[in-house]
């Protein structure tokens, strides 16, 4: 991958603003920026200095483009680890675009999405997990997601994995030494203390994986559909949770014909609630479309709010909804508690016998009672008991990306195989092979071992200029 040319891009968002910032990076960045900037000799400027001047277009039709401030950052003490110049001009589309055109005419090419951060990774300024955190900081929509991304950017996950890799390396070194000197150690190539250490590391990785669902929920948000048969109060519960009238409420069955979605922040997680069409058999063509969309939303979700009319016994239509929730984490909302309770708990649990997890809360959407209990139950299903730790500011090592979870899972499995091979008195070479497999998997998180296709997928998420 070529990192020896000079790249440039506008780093700030388009539109009217006080300032716009353009970044130039590469071994010849000072020379390229110097052909555009007039006011000081950037090639002779010390690192981390600011210089006032003007940006000019290239000859032969040289003209003044805008008043700018040039910030000089010399390698390796820059964002990319290369020579970098950042030009701050007036905000707005024309000024920044004209300065960028001048930089390109002076020898820079337009940076690809995420290329500045990619160069920071390739130059060793940050590892791959930290590079991913840059995009996470930009895209964070809740305070918890922002805090989590900052922790990863600061290296909390990277430091934890380096410590784990060092312990695996210690085990590998001892196993390989015992293979080389088998006669001197009595042929015991993976002794009990090595196997114990390897299993301890595997357990630590499994603990990281257990927190990954919550971390990914914080980073990506969670979709939670509200389902049930018609006229049980789904839209009323939806409106009550949001605190505003977003869905139409009427006594006529089939009023909700399409999915209505709104975000709600709960414990730092962006929860997108979806009020869906009542699940039933119907000959109405339009309502049928809404019901199909409701079923599709249900299929895509792991957590579901199932609303029933708690003031009357469950109907066959209710039980049919319950049977459709197999494998889901279900929060059953017994609505209309202001009219009395008529639903038996055993009937509910029988209907949800194939669900992965079940919580039951009684509410009245009409008088807004029980909503705090509903929010707490939903937070528990989401695993938000960890949210307080994030908001406290304590750095946390978590796996917030599917790529990280997969790599750590493979590393943990390899460590378990290594320990099992030692238990079975297999040759030390077999144990060492599995330990190296674990190290390779962990190296995918940090980027120590990663291919170009993975890098392309990761940095495609970035905007141009970052």
State the pLDDT at residue 303: 82
State the pLDDT at residue 421: 92
Q: Could you read off the pLDDT of 312-353 as tens digits, one per residue?
A: 888 888 888 887 777 888 888 888 888 888 888 888 888 888
Backbone angles phi, psi at 284, to 5 degrees: -75, 120
State the pLDDT at residue 110: 95
Q: Could you read off the pLDDT of 7-45 as tens digits, one per residue?
A: 999 999 888 888 999 999 999 999 999 999 999 999 999
Domain ranges of the chain: 7-127, 133-211+398-447, 224-388
Neighbours of 405 (CB within 10 A): 18
CATH topology for 224-388 is Rossmann fold (3.40.50)
In angstroms, the CA 355 to CA 326 distance is 5
Domain range 7-127, CATH class: alpha beta
State the pLDDT at residue 385: 54
Backbone angles phi, psi at 193, to 5 degrees: -70, -30
Q: What angle do CA 302, 308, 311 make, to 5 degrees?
A: 155
CATH topology for 133-211+398-447 is 1.20.120
> What pairs with residue 225 in β-bridges?
274
In angstroms, the CA 154 to CA 130 distance is 7
Mean pLDDT of the chain: 83
| Assigned token pair, 33 | 């920026």
Question: What b-and-e string marks burial along 297-318, b requiring 16 or more CB atoms within 10 Å of the CB?
Answer: bbeebbbbbbbbbbbeebeebb
State the pLDDT at residue 51: 97
Nearest to 269 by CA among 390, 184, 405, 107: 390
Segment-wise mean pLDDT, segments of 10 residues, the chain, 466 residues: 83 87 96 95 96 88 91 96 96 91 95 92 92 88 83 90 94 88 66 92 90 76 82 83 55 45 75 67 48 59 83 84 81 87 81 81 87 86 59 66 91 95 90 94 89 78 75
Name the burial class of residue 246, with classes exposed (0-12), middle (13-18) and buried (19+) by CB atoms within 10 angstroms of its CB: middle
Alpha-carbon distances of 460 from 109, 118, 334, 452, 456, rounded to whole Å: 18, 10, 45, 12, 6
State the pLDDT at residue 276: 67
Question: Is the Cβ–Cβ distance between 343 and 327 less than 8 Å?
Answer: no
Nearest to 217 by CA among 351, 398, 461: 398
356 torsion bin: left (phi>0), alpha (psi -120 to 50), beta (else) = alpha
In angstroms, the CA 216 to CA 220 distance is 6
In angstroms, the CA 28 to CA 143 distance is 39
In angstroms, the CA 246 to CA 46 distance is 58
State the pLDDT at residue 294: 56
SS (H, E, C) the chain: CCCCCCEEEECCCCCCCCEEEEEEECCCHHHHHHHHEECCCHHHCCCCEEEEEEEECCCCCCCEEEEEEEEEECCCCCCCCCCEEEEEEECCHHHHHHHHHHHHHCCCEECCCCHHHHHHHHCCCCCHHHHHHHHHHHHCCCHHHHHHHHHHHCCHHHHHHHHHHHHHHHHHHHHHHHHHCCCCCCCCCCCHHHHHHHHHHHHHHHHHHHCHHHHHHHHHCEEEEEECCCCCCHHHHHHHHHCCCCCCCCCCCCCCCCCEEEEEEECCEEEEEEECCCCCCCCCHHHHHHHHHHHHHHHHCCEEEEEEECCCCCCHHHHHHHHCCCCCEEEEEEECHHHCCCCCHHHHHHHCCCCCEEEEEECECCCCECHHHHHHHHHHHHCHHHHHHHHCCCCCCCCCCHHHHHHHHHHHHHHHHHHHHHHCCCCHHHHHHHHHHHHHHHHHHHCCCCCHHHHHHHHCCCCCCC
State the pLDDT at residue 247: 41
State the pLDDT at residue 40: 92
């Amino acid at each position: 991958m070529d990192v020896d040319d000079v790249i440039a891009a506008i780093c700030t968002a388009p539109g009217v603003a006080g300032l716009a910032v353009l970044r130039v990076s590469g071994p010849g960045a000072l020379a390229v920026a110097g052909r555009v900037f007039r006011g000081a000799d950037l090639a002779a400027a010390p690192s981390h200095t600011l210089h006032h001047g003007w940006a000019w277009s290239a000859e032969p039709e040289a003209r003044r483009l805008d008043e700018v401030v040039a910030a000089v950052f010399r390698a390796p003490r820059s964002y990319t680890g290369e020579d970098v110049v950042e030009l701050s001009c007036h905000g707005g589309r024309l000024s920044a675009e004209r300065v960028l055109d001048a930089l390109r005419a002076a020898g820079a090419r337009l940076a690809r999405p995420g290329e500045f951060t990619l160069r920071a990774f390739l130059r060793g300024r940050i590892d791959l997990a930290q590079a991913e955190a840059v995009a996470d900081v930009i895209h964070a929509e809740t305070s918890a997601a922002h805090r989590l991304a900052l922790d990863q950017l600061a290296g909390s996950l990277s430091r934890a994995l380096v410590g784990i890799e060092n312990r695996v390396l210690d085990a590998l070194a001892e196993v390989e030494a015992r293979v080389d000197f088998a006669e001197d150690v009595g042929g015991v190539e993976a002794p009990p203390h090595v196997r114990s250490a390897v299993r301890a590391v595997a357990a630590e990785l499994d603990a990281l994986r257990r927190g990954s669902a919550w971390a990914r929920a914080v980073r990506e948000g969670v979709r939670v559909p509200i389902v049930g048969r018609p006229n049980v109060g789904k839209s009323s519960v939806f409106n009550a949770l949001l605190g505003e009238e977003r869905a139409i409420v009427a006594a006529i069955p089939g009023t909700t014909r399409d999915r209505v979605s709104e975000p709600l922040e709960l414990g730092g997680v962006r929860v997108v609630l979806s009020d869906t069409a009542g699940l039933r058999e119907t000959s109405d063509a339009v309502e049928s479309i809404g019901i199909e969309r409701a079923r599709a939303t249900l299929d895509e979700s792991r957590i579901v709010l199932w609303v029933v009319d708690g003031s009357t016994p469950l109907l066959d239509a209710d039980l049919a909804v319950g049977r459709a929730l197999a494998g889901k984490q279900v929060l059953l909302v017994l609505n209309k508690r202001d009219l009395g309770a008529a639903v038996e708990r055993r009937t509910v649990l029988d209907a949800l016998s194939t669900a992965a997890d079940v919580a039951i809360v009684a509410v009245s959407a009409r008088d807004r009672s029980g909503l705090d209990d509903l929010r707490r139950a939903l937070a528990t299903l989401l695993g938000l008991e960890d949210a307080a730790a994030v908001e406290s500011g304590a750095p946390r090592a978590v796996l917030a990306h599917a790529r990280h979870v997969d790599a750590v899972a493979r590393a943990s499995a390899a460590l378990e195989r290594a320990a099992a091979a030692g238990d079975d008195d297999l040759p030390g070479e077999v144990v060492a092979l599995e330990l190296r497999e674990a190290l390779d998997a962990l190296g995918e998180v940090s980027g120590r071992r990663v291919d170009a296709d993975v890098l392309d997928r990761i940095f495609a998420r970035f905007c141009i200029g970052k």
